[in-house]
Amino acid sequence: MSLELRKDADALREAERFVAAHPQGCLMQSPRWAQVKPNWGSRLLLSRDANGQLRGSMLVLTLADRGDGTALLYAPRGPVCDPRDQRTIRELIEGARTLAGEFGGGEFKCDPLVEASDGKAIEALTGAGLQFCPGAAFGQTSQPRKNAVRGDLAGLDEQALLSRLAYKTRYALRQAQKAGLRCGPEEGDAAFCDFFRLYLATGRRQRFATRPADYLRGLLAAFGVDARLYLCRAADGQPLAGALAVAFGPRLSYLYSGSVRAQGDPGSGYLLQWELLRWALAAGCTFYDMGGVCTDPQESPALYQLYQFKRKFAPAVSYAGEFFFHF
C-alpha cells in the first residue's frame, strides 16, 4: 500500500466520493468539513492498495497553537476504512505522525465510529500505537461517546418505519398533524433567523453553549444541497421548533436544534423528527444520527431529559471514544 498527504482538488474529490460511499463515512470526514472550520488548517491522508484503489481516508484538522503553545491534530470521526484493517489503520496513523513532524509538541487524536463493544477494531487502533482511555465520562471527549442512532432504515418505506415507532410516539405525531402544524425544509434569511432565535433560546434555557450565526451559515454553505434547515410552524405560521441537519453518505446527522417549549405545544418536536426521518429515507440513508446523549442523570440532568425524548426515535449507541498520541 502507499500513503499520500494531499490537499489538491483531485484528492479532495476522490476522498469525498470514498467517504460518502463507505459504511464508516461521516460528514466530519468529508473534505467539506474543513470549510466549516476556517480557523484550522487541514490535511488529507489517503491509503491505497497495490492496485492504486483507495482503502482508507483520514481528514486531519490542524491547530498550530491550541492556547498553551502546543499543537492539536484532530481527525473527527476518522479514520474512514475497514475498522479492523490493521495495515490500513497503521499506515494512516503513521501518516499522522509524519504530519505531526511539521509542528512542535502537541497531541493527535481521533474518534472513529467504532462501537465500545468492537474489541477487534479497538485492537487495530491501539495496535497502531494509539493510546486509549475506555469508558471516558460525558463531557471528557471532543465528541460524545453515546449518540442516539437509528440504524434500521435500509429497505424501509415510510409506513414500515412508522410502524416501528412506539404507539405513544405515533399518537403524539398524529396530534401534531391534527393541530395543523406544518414542517419542512425552508431557505432564505428569514427562515434562518427564525431558526437561530429558537436555537439561542433553547441554549439559554438548557444551559448549553451555542454556535455563532456565522458558523451555522458556513456549515449550510459548505454542504449545499446536502444540508437543510427544517422548521415546524403552528397553523398561524409561528415557528415552534427547528433543526439544522446534513445528509451525507449513509448517515443523516441531526446537528443543531431549538424549540419554544411553549405550554400547550401540540407536538412540534415529534413532527420535526418524523419529517427528518422521511428525508433520511428519501436520501437513501441507512442511519439517522440524532447526536450526543447523556444516559446518566447524575452527569447532566438537562441532557438526560433530552435523551428521554430522543430515545423515542433512536436508541443510544456507545462508541469507544478517543484514541491519541503525543508528540
pLDDT in tens, the chain (327 residues): 467 777 788 889 999 999 999 999 999 999 999 999 999 999 999 999 999 999 999 999 999 999 999 999 999 999 999 999 999 999 999 999 999 999 999 999 999 999 999 999 999 999 999 999 999 988 899 999 999 999 999 999 999 999 999 999 999 999 999 999 999 999 999 999 999 999 999 999 988 899 999 999 999 999 999 999 999 999 999 999 999 999 999 999 999 999 998 777 899 999 999 999 999 999 999 999 999 999 999 888 878 988 999 999 999 999 999 999 999
The pLDDT, as a whole number, for residue 214 is 98
The pLDDT, as a whole number, for residue 183 is 98
The domains of the chain, with CATH numbers, are: 2-137+320-326 (3.40.630.30), 152-285 (3.40.630.30)
The pLDDT, as a whole number, for residue 2 is 64
Contact 24/81 with Cβ under 8 angstroms? Answer: yes
Residue 83 to residue 3: CA distance in whole angstroms: 17
- Write down the pTM of the prediction: 0.94
The pLDDT, as a whole number, for residue 159 is 97
The pLDDT, as a whole number, for residue 4 is 76
